Each structure stands twice: as structure tokens, then as C-alpha cells.
Amino acid sequence: MWSEMDIVKIAAIVLSLMVAIIGHEIMHGYVAYRYGDTTAKAAGRLSVNPIVHVDPVGTILVPALLYISGAPFLFGWAKPVPVDIRTVIMNGGYKAAVAVSLAGVSYNFALAVAASLLLGFFENPHSIFSAFIALFLMYSVIYNVVLGVFNLWPFPPLDGANALRFLAMEFRWQPVIDILNKIEPIGMVLLIVVIATPLADFFFLPAQWLIGLLLR
């Protein structure tokens, strides 16, 4: 039987994770829109309505399984927001494409910092509501940092790889482009290998450091 605090904790986890992953996707579309790409707006994907962004597997099933299995942190994703990167490049060049690629990550880190600052006002919650807010802010720090760091990994199709590719195009770093093109077909395999092995501890070190810094 779940206690009142169990329900509050689960609600805080679900809300913080959804705000992190859905906001991440919306920001890709919003920044692309600022560079003249109306694809996401026309598809109704700049809406804050969570229903249009929910991916049954990434937003619901995977986080639920991780929670039930007692994983150290939850993870998930929303439906990718459609972006016509050719329009973005035509209007703003490769630097604009880098901005679109890093928009979601920037959102995650900004939200983590904001949640960390606000958390100081709820260090000693005296009610269920204030306990919910404190938990929501704490998990917002954790999940936004994890998502931000994860998406910066240089493995296609993650944001870090996309940003690196467009940056290489801007400065004509052909060897970098060639490497990314070679690993692109096996990008998902590389991700699975990293996540499922002790390599994850190494790749998530920056996330552990940032979480410790923001929650100290």
C-alpha cells in the first residue's frame, strides 16, 4: 500500500521527467522556427500540450520499467520534433544548425540551474504541497542534467553528434565529418554498448559532478 509521500514522490518524478524531455523537444522546434523553419509549428509540435509529444515507449514504458526495476535514475524521450534543417542552414548557416541541435540541451541545463536555485527556498518543507515542490525541483535538477549530458555524447543521432557535424561543416573539418559518417550506421549500437556496460560510469561522470554541484 502506497503512502501519501510515495504518491507525492511518484508525481514529482513523472512531472519533472515530462517537463525535461518534452521541453527539450519543443526547444529544437522553437529555435528552428526562429530561423524560418515552420515545420514544427505547422505540425502542432510547438504546443506545451504533453499529449502531442508523448511517445508510448520513451515517455511512459521505459521510465516505468526503470522505476520498477530500481534503476539509479530514470530516462526517457518524447517524439522528436520535426525540423527542416535545410531551411535553417539556408537562413542562418551552419551556426544556426548548431544552435538548433543544442537548443534542447541548453534548455535542460538552464532548467537544472533554475531548479537548483529555487530549491533553496524549500529546504524544510512543512506541508505535502511544499514537499512536492521540493521533490519536483530536486528531480528536475537530476533529470535535466542527465538528459543534457547524455544528449551531448558524440554518437549519432544524439544532439552532440549533430552539433559537431554542423560545426565541422562550418570550419571544414573534413576528417571529423568522415568519422561521423562512418559511425552513423552503428550509432545506436554504440549507445547501447555504452549504456549497458561500465563505460556508462565514465560517460556520466560529468552528470554526477554537475548534480553534486547543483544539489550540494
Q: Are 43 and 57 in contact (CB under 8 A)?
A: no
Q: Which of 25, 123, 170, 184 is catalytic?
A: 25
Per-residue cell: 175: 576528417
Catalytic-residue membership of 123: no
**Cα–Cα dist 109/6, whole Å:** 27
d(CA 187, CA 164): 14
Please name the residues in contact with 17: beta carbons below 8 A apart, sequence gap of 6 or more: 63, 74, 76, 139, 143
C-alpha closest to that of 139 among 23, 11, 4: 11
Q: Hey, which residues are catalytic here? A: 25
